[in-house]
Every structure is written in structure tokens, then in C-alpha cells.
Homo-oligomer: A and B are copies of this chain.
Amino acid sequence: VDEHAAATVEQAAPDAAPAVDEADLRLTVMGLLAETWAGLSALAAAQVAQHGLGEVEFEVLLRLSRSPDGLLRMTDLAAQTSLSSSGITRVVDRLEAAGSVSRRACVTDRRTTYAVVTETGRARLAAALPGHLELVERWLVAPLSADQLGALVDALRVVRDGVRPCATAGTRPPVPQV
């Protein structure tokens, strides 16, 4: 069963109408990416939930734990997690209430707040991480050959570098205009 047959919608193509097959390819790739991520994401959510964590909480704890000194500015956390600035505020609120994270003021710039992983937070992450890695191994890595996995990583890196110019540091996310 092919998952993405030709759109039944008129193309309204202005000139040199792209063949239906072309449209089909694009929707297929995009659809595959969406379904793959949705499936993996759902599995991961169920797994971390077994350890009392939400998907977002898990990701924040993971990123903090892998940062030097276990801390990150709220802004950088927002940029890395594709959550809004206020969204990060709420997540850190929850994590702080749970004792997994604490806030620390910055001495050089009093505008910025750091989120710091606590020992409790590291322990919670350590409890959930092995199962998470097993899940990734089982559903994402193992089903692919070494070549396939390498090609997947390469392709994803190319696309990621295009759509996420600055998901790493404290650079501003320019939201490239369509």
C-alpha cells in the first residue's frame, strides 16, 4: 500500500505545472518524516513516562546534564528545544518544583537566569536514560544497515543545518521567511 497517493486537489500551478509525480515525491518525503518522528516520539514519550518524566522534561534534563557545569541560560534552552521563551519558563517551573532543577542568577549579566540540574535531576535522568537508549537502538538503529544509518545521518545533517541555522548557541533564531 503506497502511503501518499497523488493529491486529488487541483494544483493551481501558475506556469509549467509540476507533474503530479513531483508533488507526490515531496509529500511522500515530508509524510515519511512526519510519521517516523511521530512514531518514535510516541514510543519515547511512553518510555520516559514510566519514570515519571514528560518528553519535554526529559529533553531539558538531558541537555542540561550534557552542558558544562550542568547549566544553561533560559534563552539557550528555548532555542535548543523549539519551545517558546515562556514555554521554557513553565517547564523549568515544573522541574524546579520537582527538585530536578534549580535557578541561578548570573553575576555578570543580571538579566539572565541559569537553569541548573540538581543531583536529583541527574538521578532521574540516569534512571530513564538506559531505557531511552534501548528504545532508540531497537526502533531506529537496529532496523537499519550500517550504510543506511550512515546515509540517514548524513542526509538529516544536511537538512537540519538548513532549517536550523542556530540551534546550538545563544544565537537568535531568525525564522527564515518562506
Chain A residues packing against B (C-beta within 8 Å): 1, 3-14, 18, 23, 25-30, 32-44, 46-47, 50, 62, 65-66, 70, 82, 122, 125-127, 129-131, 133-137, 139-141, 143-144, 148-149, 151-160, 162-164, 167-169, 175-176, 178
Cβ-defined contact, A9 with B129, below 8 A: yes
Total copies of this chain within the assembly = 2
> With a CB–CB cut-off of 8 A, which chain B residues contact A13?
130
A10 to B128, CA, bound (A): 11
Given A8-B66, A29-B149, A32-B156, are A163 and B178 neighbors across the interface (CB < 8 Å)?
A: no
> With a CB–CB cut-off of 8 A, which chain B residues contact A134?
178
A162 to B156, CA, bound (A): 19
Cβ-defined contact, B40 with A30, below 8 A: yes
Cβ-defined contact, B9 with A156, below 8 A: no
Q: Which of B34, B126, B144, B168 contacts A3 (CB 8 A)?
A: B168
| Shortest CB distance A78–B (Å) | 12
Q: Which of B12, B32, B40 contacts A130 (CB 8 A)?
A: B12
Q: Which of B7, B41, B143, B178 contacts A47 (CB 8 A)?
A: B178
A4 to B140, CA, bound (A): 17
Q: Which of B6, B14, B50, B136 contacts A27 (CB 8 A)?
A: B136
| Shortest CB distance A11–B (Å) | 7
| Shortest CB distance A163–B (Å) | 3
28 A/B residue pairs, CB under 8 Å, sorted by A: A1-B168, A1-B169, A4-B66, A5-B66, A7-B65, A9-B62, A9-B125, A25-B141, A27-B133, A29-B136, A29-B156, A32-B156, A32-B160, A33-B37, A33-B140, A36-B163, A37-B37, A39-B159, A43-B163, A43-B176, A46-B178, A50-B178, A139-B162, A139-B163, A143-B158, A144-B155, A148-B158, A152-B152
